[in-house]
């Protein structure tokens, strides 16, 4: 299972509907749970670093590493094989403090562009689905 912790408001209308389209297609271990926290609560939670050694934390941040969809799929598969839990962090309007990026196992940049929360959430949901399809050689992803 993949836990996504997102700063800001819950998914609204169009975003909830779009993310739901990908979520309902997902099968274990790629199934998603969401935890939405107000930005201040998320910042306080991350200062305490509530993650365990068996959590693999991915921080979404434009200062991270830009990887391809197949590379993301390979990374997720490796983590699943190691028996770890995957946690994906999506920040609020001001992103993450340096300490969060440094403590994360992987800092993932979608591109050099900056996206609003809702679009970042949709990108994560779609890329998790794409990664699951790549892992099983499904028809969704084309090279």
Per-position pLDDT tens, the chain of length 143: 899 999 887 777 898 999 999 999 999 999 999 999 998 899 999 999 999 999 999 999 989 999 999 999 999 999 999 999 999 999 877 788 899 999 999 999 999 888 888 899 999 999 999 999 999 998 888 77
- Contacts of 46-50 with C-beta under 8 Å, sequence gap 24+, read 46/89, 46/96, 46/97, 46/100, 47/99, 49/103
Q: What is the largest CA-CA distance in the chain?
A: 41
Domains of the chain, each with CATH number or no CATH: 2-94+103-135 (3.40.1280.10)
Residue 7's closest CA among 100, 134, 70, 72? 100
Residue 114 DSSP code: -
SS3 for 40? Answer: helix
pTM score of the predicted model: 0.94
């Amino acid at each position: 299972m993949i836990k996504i912790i997102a700063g800001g408001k819950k998914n609204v209308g169009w975003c909830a509907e779009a993310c739901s389209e990908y979520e309902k297609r997902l099968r274990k271990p790629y199934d998603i749970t969401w935890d939405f926290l107000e930005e201040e609560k998320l910042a306080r939670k991350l200062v305490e670093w509530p993650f365990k050694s068996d959590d693999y934390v991915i921080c979404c941040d434009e200062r991270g590493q830009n990887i391809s969809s197949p590379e993301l799929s390979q990374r997720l598969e490796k983590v699943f094989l190691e028996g770890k839990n995957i946690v994906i962090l999506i920040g609020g309007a001001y992103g993450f403090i340096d300490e969060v990026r440094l403590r994360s196992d992987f800092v993932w940049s979608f591109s050099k562009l900056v996206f609003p929360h809702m679009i970042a959430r949709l990108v994560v949901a779609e890329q998790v689905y794409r990664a699951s399809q790549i892992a099983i050689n499904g028809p969704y992803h084309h090279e």
